Amino acid sequence: MASVTYKNVVKRFGDVTAVNNMNFEVADKEFLVLVGPSGCGKTTALRLLAGLEEITSGEISIDGKVVNDVAPKDRDIAMVFQSYALYPHLSVFDNLAFGLKLRKTPKDEIKRRVDEAAKILGIEDLLNRKPRQLSGGQRQRVAVGRAIVREPKVFLFDEPLSNLDAKLRVQMRAEINKLHKRLQATFVYVTHDQVEAMTMASRIAVINKGIVQQIDTPQRLYDRPVNLFVAGFIGSPSMNFFPARLRKEGAKMYVDGDEFSISIPDKRAGVYESYAGKRVVLGIRPENIHNPDFVPPNTHTELVPAKIDVIELMGNEIFLHLVNGNDKFVARVDPRSTFSVGDTVKLAFDMNGFHIFDAETEQVIR
């Protein structure tokens, strides 16, 4: 298959910069997901790779060859769109074969490729049906199959699961993952859904306002976000943020929030000494906030008071929506917890699972 390289890639639409100095490489056979909010530039970045948009400046290479001036049909890529874009008057077989027929591929080769793609996707029994006779998931498989028959160097996916219901999205995520492992191909996948990104990617590129904020494995993005945007975007429910100030008292370091003060473990305090007296943002994920009665063993916690605003019973866990002074936050607590709306409680913050960000630069302090 092939690697993909973005080198100083910029795309402007008039005065709007959609992609801003993008630099990264997609390794051969890697599954890279571009993720970010609507309008962040991720789809534009994909369309530049496909040749559907013209690059303002910079270079995109496929397998070491610069493709800026190469026509889309000659880039050896295949794209799966959000809309299935199937021909309603053609059978599934003919939809899969359409692109190959345009390239005047021999009939026996067309049949071989279509049959192979249908087998991979489990749609062998659907080849004689029309799109209107298919479910949403089956249509999506046909759209993916149309890409597979081309046997391209790179597969591009532009939010392919957005039109499916929640249950089917989970199923198709697993199928696309299996497809990647089976084809051993290079996948570049765009989504605004960070759950899709976390469950499918080898690596994730988090994009905001046309700029790649961080690119790393899903677990490292979750554990070690480089800034407030990445921290808040990756994870569901998202990370809680508290405007705060760092305070040094003797050898101890403290984080002072609106209506709480918690001590930083000694082993981490040294990192923050130079920020004593400065404004910061404390970040902590809902799963690192516990009911004090059910704290995991060997966990260093600090208690923070809060009033319960909303309780969401999820069965295997409980989401507490809480208020502390001017701060609202969410805790993910043990399902055995017995709380009521309006209760004033103390929650245990895991002091091995917090992050502190510079309030001005929004970068993490390490």
CATH code at 307?
Answer: 2.40.50.140
Predicted local confidence at residue 81, as pLDDT: 83
Count of positions (residues) in the chain: 366
Domain encompassing residue 258: 240-358
What single DSSP character describes residue 120? H
Domain match, 258 and 195 both: no
Indicate whether 364 belongs to any domain: no
Q: Give the span between the Cα atoms of 14 and 32, in whole angstroms.
A: 29
Whether 242 and 282 have beta carbons less than 8 Å apart is answered as yes
Whether 308 and 343 have beta carbons less than 8 Å apart is answered as yes
Domain match, 97 and 199 both: yes
Domain match, 222 and 261 both: no
Whether 59 and 7 have beta carbons less than 8 Å apart is answered as yes
> Which one, of 165, 96, 156, 114, lies nearest residue 137 by Cα?
165
Domain match, 272 and 308 both: yes
Helix axes 107-121, 92-102, angle to 10 degrees: 130
Cα torsion 14, 17, 23, 28: sign: negative
Predicted local confidence at residue 1, as pLDDT: 57
> Which among 233, 268, 287 is the end of a domain?
233
Phi, psi at residue 58, to the nearest 5°? 100, -175
Domain match, 109 and 61 both: yes
Q: Give the span between the Cα atoms of 333 and 291, in whole angstroms.
A: 6
Report in angstroms the alpha-carbon separations of 223 from 19, 77, 199, 239, 353: 27, 33, 15, 11, 9
> Which among 233, 263, 289 is the end of a domain?
233
Strands (E), the chain: 4-13, 16-26, 31-35, 57-62, 65-66, 77-80, 154-158, 186-191, 203-208, 211-216, 240-249, 252-256, 261-263, 279-284, 289-290, 301-313, 318-324, 327-333, 344-350, 354-358
Which pTM value belongs to this model? 0.90
Indicate whether 71 belongs to any domain: yes
pLDDT string in tens for the chain (366-residue length): 589 999 999 999 999 999 999 999 999 999 999 999 999 999 999 999 999 999 999 999 999 999 999 999 899 999 988 777 889 999 999 999 998 998 889 999 999 999 988 988 889 999 999 999 998 888 888 988 988 898 899 999 999 888 778 888 888 888 889 889 988 899 999 999 889 999 999 999 999 999 999 999 999 999 999 999 999 999 989 999 999 999 999 889 999 998 999 999 999 999 999 999 999 999 999 999 999 999 999 899 999 999 999 999 999 999 999 999 999 999 999 999 999 999 999 999 999 999 999 999 999 998
Domain match, 88 and 25 both: yes
Domain match, 253 and 218 both: no
Indicate whether 299 belongs to any domain: yes
> Which one, of 332, 307, 318, lies nearest residue 240 by Cα?
332
The full DSSP string for 316-348 is S-EEEEEEETTEEEEEEE-TT----TT-EEEEE
